[in-house]
Amino acid sequence: MTLAASRSKAPLTAASTKPGIGGAVLLDTGILVALHARDDPKHAAVTRWLSDFRGELHTVEPVLAEVAYFLPVRLRSVIAELVSGGAVTLHHPGAAGQARMAELFRKYADQDPDWADVALVWLAESSGIHRIATVDVADFNVYRIHGRKRFELELLA
């Protein structure tokens, strides 16, 4: 199942995403893995959510690297096509963003954060997007945007 195929009314492309309808949402690793791994326990919930979603999807390179690690080789090209086709907007932190990520690694050291999680916190802070689609509820209930604001979790049950 691809992200485009999960959309019941129209394939997910840059032209079919409508800013403001559904809002902007950050994508974490588990969502993309569950979408493409039919045996994943969250596959049906993620597929349903994406078929109804009409907003903008955003992520960071470490998320894509993690997804590629968990998916079989034959599915890895689909992940790159999500970005190249405009279905998902990819954000890059740059030097200032990397400096902020270093601060976040120190702040959350007791949580043993992974690179993708810290990059998503940076993205939430820099973009103003506070909604996140994740299956990593425990960690994203702890992380705070600018040290104060909770993430708005998309619960995919």
Report the distance separating Cα 127 and Cα 11, nearest Å. Answer: 25
Report the distance separating Cα 14 and Cα 65, nearest Å. Answer: 22
Report the distance separating Cα 110 and Cα 25, nearest Å. Answer: 27
Report the predicted TM-score, pTM, of the whole model to 2 decimal places: 0.86
**Domains in the chain, please, with CATH?**
3-154 (3.40.50.1010)
Tens-binned pLDDT, residue by residue, of the chain (157 aa) = 445 444 333 333 333 343 333 799 999 999 999 999 999 999 999 999 998 888 999 999 999 999 999 999 999 999 999 999 999 999 999 999 999 999 999 999 999 999 999 999 999 999 999 999 999 899 999 999 999 999 999 977 6
Burial bucket for residue 87 (CB in 10 Å: 0-12, 13-18, 19+): buried
